[in-house]
C-alpha cells in the first residue's frame, strides 16, 4: 500500500491523474448530494402534508415535530456538557521541585539565618494555598493551614506554623480530633468532607491533610470554610501534594519546624 501511495501521490503523472478524476467526478458528487438533500427533506415534506385529523393524530404529529426539532438541541447540549467535563486538568504554575529543593538546601545550611529558612518555608506553603484556592475555586480568606509534628510523647501536635484564618483554642481541639481520625486511616493524603455534620461549631466543612509515609514526622492540615466538591479534582490534588509528603523525611527541616519560634 505504501508503494502504491508513493506512485500515485509521489509522481507528477499520478497527481495529475488524481486531479483529473476529482474534476470529472465533482459534478456527479454534487448531484448525488442534492439527491441526498431531497431524501433527507422527505420526512419534513410528509409531515407538512399530513392532515392530522383528530386529537390523537394531532398529538402524534406534535410529538414527532418536537423530537425532530429538539434532537439537535439535545445533541448540542450533550456536546457542550462533554466538553465541559473534558476540560484540561489543572496544572500548577508553581515549581514545587525547585521550591522544596530551596527549602532543603537552606535548612541544611548552618550559615543561613533563621529568618531566611522560615521565609523559604513560607514561600512553599503560600504557593500551596494558592493552588488550593485555584484548584477548588475558593477564596483565600476561606482557607487556613497549620503544620503538624510529633511531640516528645509520640502524639501529634499543632505547631505555630500557620497560614490564613486565625483559630481559637476550641478550634485547635477540633482540628486535633480530626487529625486523630486522619492518622487512624494511615493514608498519606486523606480528605474529610462535611465536617460540620460531626463538629457543630467547627469553622470548616472540608479538611485536607497530608503527611509523610510511615510514622508521622511532618504533616499539614488545610481547612476550607465551605463545602468543596473534591472528587472531580482528586487526581490533580494528589499530583500537587505528592512532593509535600517527602518533607517529613528531611530531618533538619522537621527539627527546624519543631524548634523555630
Write down the domain spans for the chain. Answer: 2-85, 96-259
User: What is the predicted pLDDT for the residue at 76?
Assistant: 73
User: What is the predicted pLDDT for the residue at 254?
Assistant: 95
* Dist. CA 123–CA 121, nearest whole Å: 5
CA angle 96, 100, 101 (to 5 degrees): 115
Instruction: Calculate the CA 88 to chain-centre distance.
Output: 8
* Dist. CA 17–CA 22, nearest whole Å: 9
pTM: 0.68
Q: Which residue is associated with the grid cell 487556613?
A: 144
Cα-based distances in Å from 107 to 154, 163, 166: 24, 20, 27
Return the bridge partners of 148, or none. Answer: 158, 219
User: What is the predicted pLDDT for the residue at 200?
Assistant: 83
* Dist. CA 44–CA 58, nearest whole Å: 15
User: What is the predicted pLDDT for the residue at 159?
Assistant: 95
User: What is the predicted pLDDT for the residue at 100?
Assistant: 96
Q: Single out the residue of 179, 256, 194, 258 nearest to residue 226, CA to CA.
A: 194
Pairing between β-strand 206-211 and β-strand 143-150 as defined by DSSP bridges: unpaired
**Helix 12-49 / helix 2-9 crossing angle, nearest 10 deg:** 100
Question: DSSP assignment, residue 224?
Answer: E
- pLDDT tens, position by position, for the chain (261 residues)? 544 544 445 566 666 776 666 666 656 655 555 565 666 666 666 666 666 666 666 666 666 666 766 677 777 777 667 665 556 888 899 999 999 999 999 999 999 999 999 999 999 999 999 999 999 999 999 999 999 999 878 789 999 999 998 889 999 999 999 999 999 998 999 999 999 998 888 999 999 999 999 999 999 999 999 999 999 999 999 999 999 999 999 999 999 999 985
Q: Which architecture, in CATH terms, is 96-259? A: 2-Layer Sandwich (3.30)
User: What is the predicted pLDDT for the residue at 52?
Assistant: 61
CB atoms within 10 A of CB 97: 9
User: What is the predicted pLDDT for the residue at 8?
Assistant: 46
Residues recorded for the chain: 261
User: What is the predicted pLDDT for the residue at 73?
Assistant: 73
Amino acid at each position: 500500500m505504501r508503494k502504491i501511495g508513493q506512485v500515485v501521490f509521489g509522481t507528477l503523472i499520478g497527481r495529475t491523474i488524481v486531479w483529473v478524476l476529482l474534476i470529472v467526478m465533482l459534478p456527479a458528487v454534487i448531484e448525488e448530494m442534492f439527491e441526498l438533500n431531497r431524501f433527507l427533506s422527505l420526512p419534513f415534506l410528509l409531515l407538512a402534508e399530513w392532515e392530522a385529523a383528530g386529537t390523537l393524530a394531532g398529538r402524534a404529529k406534535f410529538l414527532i415535530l418536537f423530537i425532530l426539532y429538539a434532537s439537535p438541541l439535545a445533541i448540542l447540549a450533550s456536546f457542550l456538557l462533554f466538553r465541559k467535563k473534558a476540560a484540561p486538568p489543572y496544572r500548577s504554575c508553581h515549581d514545587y521541585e525547585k521550591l522544596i529543593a530551596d527549602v532543603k538546601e537552606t535548612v541544611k545550611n548552618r550559615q543561613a539565618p533563621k529568618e531566611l529558612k522560615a521565609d523559604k518555608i513560607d514561600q512553599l506553603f503560600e504557593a500551596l494555598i494558592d493552588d488550593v484556592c485555584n484548584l477548588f475555586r475558593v477564596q483565600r480568606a476561606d482557607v487556613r493551614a497549620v503544620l503538624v509534628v510529633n511531640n516528645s510523647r509520640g502524639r501529634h501536635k499543632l505547631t505555630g506554623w500557620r497560614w490564613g484564618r486565625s483559630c481559637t483554642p476550641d478550634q485547635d481541639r477540633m482540628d486535633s480530633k480530626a487529625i486523630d481520625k486522619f492518622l487512624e486511616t494511615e493514608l498519606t493524603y486523606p480528605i474529610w468532607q462535611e465536617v460540620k455534620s460531626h463538629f457543630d461549631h467547627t469553622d470548616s466543612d472540608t479538611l485536607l491533610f497530608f503527611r509523610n509515609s510511615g510514622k508521622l514526622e511532618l504533616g499539614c492540615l488545610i481547612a476550607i470554610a465551605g463545602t468543596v466538591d473534591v472528587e472531580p479534582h482528586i487526581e490533580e490534588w494528589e499530583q500537587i501534594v505528592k512532593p509535600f509528603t517527602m518533607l517529613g523525611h528531611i530531618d533538619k527541616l522537621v527539627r527546624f519546624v519543631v524548634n523555630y519560634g
